[in-house]
């Protein structure tokens, strides 16, 4: 299957904390599993620009980025098979954020849940509407829109609290496409219904904000100690226990097979002591986590290696982002002054346009083709060693018109004189 027909799946992880069992069961494990599906193309990234919105401790951002990256890889994400990168290694992301900012209604952002929650809190406290609200928090959905639209993601697996952000990204994409032509894919949120919400130590949802988490890769002794701290009722050993509402049981279920779960339910009915049940839980989790823990530690101890993996991922991501950003800049009018479109009527920009399409072939080389408004291919390049070389040739063709066709003919497939006239015509309206 070629990359064009594969579904693009993209998701980001904000780098503000240490991954815990809830993150593992709810996000990491299902995502790593889904990333192995050969009919999808996975893009997974560390949303460290988003982290700055919530966190002003540089050391924590850095540490969290390392821990999350190491967790995903130790949990089986294969950076060779997917594109795994750090948001801040892609300068095109903030660049696209600005283009999207300019097509996003301020009113749309006013309605974002996270921003509204801050405003409501301020009103309740009798404070100014925007007290302590940064423009970063306000702009959060636009940055997220850029993350998603940059890579033309079809599907975005997220938690329920993020659905609105995906809808906003769709709005931004539609507005932009309407104004400047069909450049963006409209993304869809994917909510994993079957994934259990993991309860934390106190029985509420496991979450950093409740301070009730069990770190994913804590040393085994520490994990055992934390499991011992999970709340239970005060029933003595020998007394039958109920599985319903038992955090311990629910956590066990998230790791165990159906048979194992049934066996624990039977043990509950038979009056297993809480100490023994906790030991069973620890052993079951550790059986899954222990082999990964070793790789996690190795990665944590070698941050330079982690940097290398992430930079290689960014390189891969930018093979797409760089030419796409060039296309978008051109679309909005940030383009060479010599480009003949400078004199075209502005209305022209709203109908289908001839365009250059850049892509990479299996031979590893970079190509472009020039298609007219109906999608007919008029010109086909030979292979270039880098996307930059291909892009420069495109820029020259745009700037030079007919003259460029002759001067650069050594970089192009042969062109008949009839097609040549069409190309010149199309270059002019571009």
DSSP one-letter code for 382 = -
Considering beta carbons, is residue 158 or 379 the nearer one to ligand TRP?
158
Q: How far apart are CA 161 and CA 176, in angstroms?
A: 25
Q: How far apart are CA 368 and CA 408, in angstroms?
A: 13
Q: How far apart are CA 33 and CA 82, in angstroms?
A: 12
Nearest to 268 by CA among 247, 245, 239: 239
Nearest to 17 by CA among 208, 159, 249: 208
Residue 92: both structure tokens together: 């095109």
Considering beta carbons, is residue 114 or 371 the nearer one to ligand TRP?
114
**Min CB(98)–ligand TRP separation in Å:** 16
Triad 340, 342, 348: Cα angle to 5°? 90
**Min CB(143)–ligand TRP separation in Å:** 7
**Min CB(231)–ligand TRP separation in Å:** 27
Considering beta carbons, is residue 168 or 281 the nearer one to ligand TRP?
168
**Min CB(42)–ligand TRP separation in Å:** 12
Considering beta carbons, is residue 156 or 310 the nearer one to ligand TRP?
156
**Min CB(10)–ligand TRP separation in Å:** 6
DSSP one-letter code for 82 = S
Considering beta carbons, is residue 268 or 324 the nearer one to ligand TRP?
324
Strand partners, 366: 360, 384
Q: How far apart are CA 9 and CA 158, in angstroms?
A: 11
Which residue's CB atom is positioned nearest to ligand TRP? 12
Cα 285 to the center of its chain, rounded Å: 28
* Residues at the site binding ligand TRP, with contacts judged by CB under 6 A: 10-12, 14, 47, 50, 144, 147-148, 156, 158, 162
Considering beta carbons, is residue 147 or 372 the nearer one to ligand TRP?
147
**Min CB(162)–ligand TRP separation in Å:** 5
């Amino acid at each position: 299957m070629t990359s064009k027909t594969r579904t693009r799946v993209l998701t980001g992880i904000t780098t503000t904390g240490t991954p815990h069992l809830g993150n593992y069961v709810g996000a990491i494990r299902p995502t790593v599993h889904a990333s192995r599906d050969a009919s999808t193309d996975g893009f997974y990234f560390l949303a460290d620009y988003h982290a700055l919105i919530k966190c002003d401790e540089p050391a924590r951002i850095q540490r969290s980025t390392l821990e999350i990256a190491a967790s995903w890889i130790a949990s089986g994400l294969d950076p060779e098979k997917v594109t795994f990168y750090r948001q801040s290694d892609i300068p095109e992301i903030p660049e696209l954020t600005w283009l999207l900012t300019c097509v996003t209604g301020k009113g749309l952002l006013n309605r974002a849940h996270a921003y509204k929650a801050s405003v409501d809190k301020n009103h309740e406290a009798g404070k100014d509407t925007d007290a302590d609200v940064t423009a970063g928090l306000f702009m959060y959905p636009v940055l997220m829109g850029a993350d998603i639209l940059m890579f033309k993601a079809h599907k975005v697996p997220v938690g329920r609290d993020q659905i609105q952000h995906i809808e906003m990204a769709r709005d931004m994409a539609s507005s932009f496409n309407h104004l400047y032509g069909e450049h963006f894919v409209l993304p869809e949120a994917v909510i994993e219904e079957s994934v259990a919400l993991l309860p934390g130590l106190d029985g509420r949802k496991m979450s950093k904000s409740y301070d009730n988490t069990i770190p994913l890769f804590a040393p085994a002794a520490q994990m055992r100690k934390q499991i011992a701290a999970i709340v239970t009722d005060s029933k003595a050993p020998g007394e039958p226990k109920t599985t319903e509402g038992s955090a311990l049981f629910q956590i066990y279920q998230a790791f165990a097979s159906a048979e194992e779960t049934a066996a624990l339910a039977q043990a509950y009915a038979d009056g297993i002591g809480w100490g023994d049940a906790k030991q069973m839980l620890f052993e079951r989790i550790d059986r899954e986590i222990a082999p990964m823990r070793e790789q996690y530690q190795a990665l944590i101890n070698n941050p330079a290696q982690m940097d290398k993996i992430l930079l290689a991922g960014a390189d891969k991501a930018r093979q797409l982002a760089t030419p796409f950003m060039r296309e978008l800049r051109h679309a909005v009018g940030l383009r060479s002054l010599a480009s003949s479109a400078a004199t075209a009527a502005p209305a022209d920009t709203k109908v289908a346009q001839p365009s250059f399409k850049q892509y990479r072939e299996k031979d590893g080389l970079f190509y472009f083709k020039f298609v007219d408004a109906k999608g007919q291919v008029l010109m086909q390049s030979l292979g270039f060693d880098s996307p930059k070389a291909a892009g420069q040739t495109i820029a020259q063709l745009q700037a030079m018109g007919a003259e460029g066709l002759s001067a650069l003919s050594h970089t192009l497939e042969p062109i008949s004189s009839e097609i040549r006239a069409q190309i010149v015509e199309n270059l002019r309206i571009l």
